Structure 1
Amino acid sequence: MKALILVGGFGTRLRPLTLSMPKPLVEFANKPMLLHQIEALKAVGVTEVILAINYQPELMMNFIKEFEEKLAIKITCSREIEPLGTAGPLALARETLIDGTGNSFFVLNSDVISEYPFKEMIEFHNSHGGEASIMVTKVDEPSKYGVVILQETTGKVEKFVEKPKVFVGNKINAGIYLLNPSVLDRIELRPTSIEKEVFPRIAAENKLFAMVLPGFWMDVGQPKDYITGLRLYLDSLNKTSPSKLAKGIFAVGNVLVDESAVIEDDCLIGPDVAIGPGCVIESGVRLSSCTVMRGARVKKHACISNSIIGLYSTVGRWARLENMTILGEDVHVGDEVYSNGGVVLPHKEIKSSILKPEIIM
């Protein structure tokens, strides 16, 4: 069985983190976003993952070399010369996706985080006999999205309603699909939207079915949703694999700490914090609702909340970072500096406070 992951796009919503690497390689809960998906796909028997890319292919190739060997799964690239939307990449990778067995294949958006119930989705797809299955998730504010209208008993999709002004339903496309090879016959090699052009045609022929996603879901493609997604992920981890979470007098609620990180005395960490490989958290530090990425150092008595600390960055003593402060790679915040929503591009040194949300070039 094969899978295609849509990893194109420039990651503009997640800058400055994506100025150093493609969005799918940005760490989420201490490993690249993409790796969460590939591990889950391998667990249900997927033997080859195709990455549809068009941005920073060299970095993606380095990722492939490292994780093909670690995971013992074939990872290949299908590179777009021009952006092809969400359906065009399937046409481009057609020869790789069709393996002669007639097997269905997965298609995923790379910035979706969930519990990935792929086994249940395979069973659902095989049970309804249609041409395509999509995962849908319930949301509180459906007017912000395209809503999927489906039959509650069978899951058959009736239609799509884009950003409805009146309530028509609360289920939206979750960006996880299982498709028969015949779907590829519907897609031309040109910029095409699978959601707006391909799926409505399949639904009109009564061949599109939707499965309601169990558990949490989040598109973590922008900082606010990244932090929300981290909270949901850690909450799920607490229910399914609590032994992976940190235990100790410093931990408050759900905290994920890489085994190579160093945490000194008198820290208070959590809830909803991830501390990456090689990080150093000095004494007296307070962290909540934040990510501290690989190789970063937080110095004594600093306080960080609702923020993302990029790779190899440093936060000075008694510094305070809050309100969705985002540090790119190799940013150095001085002692006693305050940041209220500062977004700092890579390789900068911040010596004075940022009193209101702004981008530091």
Structure 2
Amino acid sequence: MLEAHRRYGGMGTILVSKVSAETASEFGELVADPETNELLHYTEKPETFVSDRINCGVYVFTPDIFNAIQGVSTQRKDRANLRRVSSFEALQPVNRSLPTNFVRLDQDILTPLAGKKQLYTYETMDFWEQIKTPGMSLKCSGLYLAQYSSTSPHLLASGDGSKTATISGDVYIHPSAKVHPTAKIGPNVSISANARIGAGARLISCIILDDVEIKENAVVIHAIVGWKSSIGRWSRVQGVGDYNSKLGITILGESVSVEDEVVVINSIVLPNKTLNVSVQEEILL
């Protein structure tokens, strides 16, 4: 993208992706010249379909962007704080009274400069996801693991349960992690440095961070387990796997201890907690 930006010679380059026509209106839609990739038209969350190319929210700008910001700021008779307009603000009437101390990147910079040979687009052929909930971290982890399977397969683990753990699907295990041969791991599992996975443990669609201990016969599904946490014997830490829901996965913060035979479902647990009773759909502060 940076090389393309230098080649275009404009003030800015926007990362774009192709999506379905049904979901395009959830994002900023744009039209670009098919030959030069110049941005010709941009509109934020339009009511009617404009294009299946959307703004991914990743930009490369030259320092000239500050002159553009200052121009908008001068019109409002004050300096601006650059930020993207929120989804709520985007739904408000266009003639609303705006504070004079901020600039809307999409509506005050991108839209006016479209078609003026200042902005260009770079379309990614890789995966792209909008992360608005904790659960999307698991989905994105799975996308990276799937990418590794084709680009860097040597990074992924393998095993049939004879001398090493049984591996199913795309799994990453840090070289310093210790995984018992009777454990079953995958798909979509990432195990970080110095983690310890006990005998008979079952891990599916989860991220295990540094120094975590998962004891014998514990189950972790659709969950993120924070640094230095521990999950007791025969315990279960699980989410339903709804990546768009706030409590669609289970998250354990740093140094959380789940004692033996405790079930934690669709919950978020803040750091330094000890759970000796089962919980479901709770946020434990």
TM-score over 0.5 for the pair = yes
Instruction: Tell me, yes or no, if structure 1 residue 136 matches structure 2 residue 16.
Output: yes
Asked if the contact 2:44/2:106 (under 8 Å) is kept, the reply is no
CA distance in 2, matches of 1:238, 1:272: 11
Q: Which has the higher contact order (CA 8 A, sep 6+)?
A: 1
Q: Which structure 1 residue ranges, 5 or more long, are not aligned?
A: 1-120
1:197-236 correspondence runs (5 A): 197-220=108-131, 222-236=133-147
How far the C-alpha of 1:235 sits from its partner, in A, is 0.7
Residue matched to 2:92: none
Conserved 8 A contact 1:149-1:171: yes
Partner SS state of residue 176, structure 1: strand
Aligned counterpart, 2:283: 359
Larger Rg: 2
Q: Work out which of the residue numbers 159, 177, 190 in structure 1 matches 2:59.
A: 177
Aligned to 2:156: 245
Query: Quick one: which amino acid aligns to residue 82 of structure 2?
Result: T
The structural deviation recorded for 1:327 is 0.5
Residue 308 of structure 1: CA displacement?
Answer: 0.5
Same amino acid, percent of matched pairs: 32
Segment drifting more, 142-151 vs 273-282: 142-151
Q: Do the aligned residues in 2 keep the contact of 1:316 with 1:334 (CA within 8 Å)? A: yes
The answer (yes or no) to whether the contact 1:219–1:229 under 8 Å persists in 2 is no
Give the C-alpha shift of residue 231 in structure 1.
0.7
Structure 2: how far apart are the matches of 1:167 and 1:288?
39
1:145 to 18, 27, 46: 27
Q: 1:1-361 to 2 correspondence within 5 Å?
A: 121-140=1-20, 141-188=23-70, 190-193=80-83, 194-220=105-131, 222-249=133-160, 250-323=166-239, 324-355=249-280, 357-361=281-285
Gaps of 5+ in 2: 71-78, 84-104, 161-165, 240-248
* Greater share of helix: 1
1:191 and 1:256 mapped to 2: Cα distance? 41
Task: Tell me how far 1:225 sits from its aligned partner.
Answer: 1.1
Q: Secondary structure at the match of 1:217?
A: coil
Q: Is the 8 A contact 1:308 1:327 kept in 2?
A: yes
3-state DSSP of counterpart to 1:238: helix
- 1:167 to 1:336, Cα distance in 2 relative to 1, 3 A: farther
Task: Give the Cα–Cα distance (whole angstroms) in 1 for the partners of residues 25 and 209 of structure 2.
Answer: 34
> Shift in Å at residue 220 of structure 1?
4.1
Give aligned pairs, total. 240
TM-score with structure 1 length normalisation? Answer: 0.62
Give TM-score scaled by structure 2 length: 0.78
Distance in structure 1 (CA, Å) of the matches to 2:26 and 2:253: 29
Cα distance change of structure 1 residues 298 and 340 upon mapping to structure 2, 3 Å threshold: same
